Amino acid sequence: MIPLSIPHLAGNEWTYVKECLDTGWVSTAGAYVSRFEEDIAAFTRSKYAISCMNGTAGLHTAMNLLGIGRGDYVLAPNLTFVATLNAISYTKADPLLIDVDPASWQLDLKLLERWLAEHTSITDTVCTLREDGRRIAAIMPVHVLGNLCDMDRLQQLSEAYHIPIIEDSTEALGSTFKGQHAGTFGVFGTSSFNGNKIITTGGGGMVFTQDEHLATRAKHLTTTAKTDPLDYFHDEVGYNYRLVNVLAAIGVAQLEQLPDLIRRKKHMDAYYREQLGGVGDISFQRITPGVDPNCWLFTFRTGRMRELLTYLNDRGIQSRPFWTPMHDLPMYERLRYVTEANNARAVHATAISIPSSSGLTDDQLAEVVGHVRAFYS
Ligand SMILES: Cc1ncc(COP(=O)(O)O)c(C=O)c1O
């Protein structure tokens, strides 16, 4: 089988993990945690990076630190992985869904801008929904598949409407918009190091912020809010959201390889686009002008998605459909949803992800292409 997206552990992972095991520093303390944070902050040119146990925990921490809670709305795209909405729900705030652009699959900014103008008010630097007066506490762009929306425009809207940005940049490590790294535009950004991501620690996450006070608060809140190195004194309800040293050691080794992994992903992306362009009714994700994507997982649209999915999986080419839109999930079907044509549903009905693991050989890529072409011939 040619797998969809598996880890590529070809660097110093073994050496660094062995060091953790040999020295006994496997758990919540240890030098690799801060080294991973420093290395990733340097790579992304983020002032601060705070590690945590997964991307979802990172998103939840960002919500908590912005004081988001019951009675608030948080704007989020309808097309995302469920963790984005779950993180909002943990705080008791209500997600308010915005449709996506049918070509880039990111937040539809034109739709958002119109909706903000028609349906919200600003009083004392707080944006509220006119209909019920409730606060719109944050907006969460999701950088779907390592692409981004026009971040200049989103930042203008964020400033004009006083709605802070929390980036779900979990899929976009290494992607940039006009040279600036994903995750560093918002009040907070996040990374995930889940097994299928561009680098992995098995499970893990990172919170990015450019604000010293928020960085200190993020560390505090994710490490049980303990205030004294000796005494068990905690000054608020904290979380045990730490990334452990043995996993951070894997992260340090993975990060060393990230530039090579991105190069490999870009090669794959260019190859697939060249080989599959014009085949059947295949169409590709439009990359937003100004974005240099990490090309994490190759995904395209076709009207015959379900048929092709079965065809490829039956032939050992592991392929996946895209996320079910949030508004089509039972716990989120009653949410407010700003849409004109429900593009999220149309993308879901037609999008298919094909093998994109960094370790795939050129022969394997050619085999994938051969099967896709054969399907349409
Ligand atoms: C868009 C998106 N948001 C959030 C997450 C959650 O990250 P994690 O699985 O590390 O909790 C993921 C990845 O799994 C994701 O793809």
From edge to edge, which strands make up the β-sheet containing 94-98?
136-139, 73-77, 94-98, 337-338
Question: What is the mean predicted confidence (pLDDT) over 91-104?
Answer: 98
Ligand 1 centroid distance, CA of 123 (Å): 34
Q: Residue 203: what pLDDT?
A: 98
What distance in Å separates the CA atoms of residue 19 and residue 13, rounded to the nearest whole number?
Answer: 10
Pocket of ligand 1 contains residue 61 by CB under 6 Å: no
Pocket of ligand 1 contains residue 13 by CB under 6 Å: no
Per-domain residue ranges of the chain: 13-255, 258-376
pLDDT band at residue 248 under the 50/70/90 scheme = very high
Ligand 1 centroid distance, CA of 57 (Å): 10
pLDDT band at residue 125 under the 50/70/90 scheme = very high
Question: What is the mean predicted confidence (pLDDT) over 194-213?
Answer: 97
Question: What is the mean predicted confidence (pLDDT) over 169-196?
Answer: 98
Q: In percent, how much of the chain has pLDDT > 90? A: 99
Q: Residue 301: what pLDDT?
A: 98
Contact in structure between 54 and 268 (CB atoms under 8 Å) = no
pLDDT band at residue 263 under the 50/70/90 scheme = very high
Question: What is the mean predicted confidence (pLDDT) over 170-187?
Answer: 98
- Alpha-carbon torsion (36, 145, 296, 315), positive or negative: positive
Q: Residue 54: what pLDDT?
A: 98
Ligand 1 atom index nearest CA of 58: 11
Alpha helices, H only, the chain: 13-23, 31-44, 55-65, 82-90, 109-119, 151-161, 212-222, 245-276, 305-314, 343-350, 362-376
Class of domain 258-376: alpha beta
Q: Residue 145: what pLDDT?
A: 98
Ligand 1 atom index nearest CA of 194: 10
Class of domain 13-255: alpha beta
Pocket of ligand 1 contains residue 91 by CB under 6 Å: no
pLDDT band at residue 98 under the 50/70/90 scheme = very high
Q: In percent, how much of the chain has pLDDT > 70? A: 100
- Alpha-carbon Rg for the chain, nearest whole angstrom, is 21
Ligand 1 atom index nearest CA of 204: 10
Ligand 1 atom index nearest CA of 80: 1
pLDDT band at residue 272 under the 50/70/90 scheme = very high
Mean pLDDT for all residues in the chain: 97
Q: Residue 166: what pLDDT?
A: 98
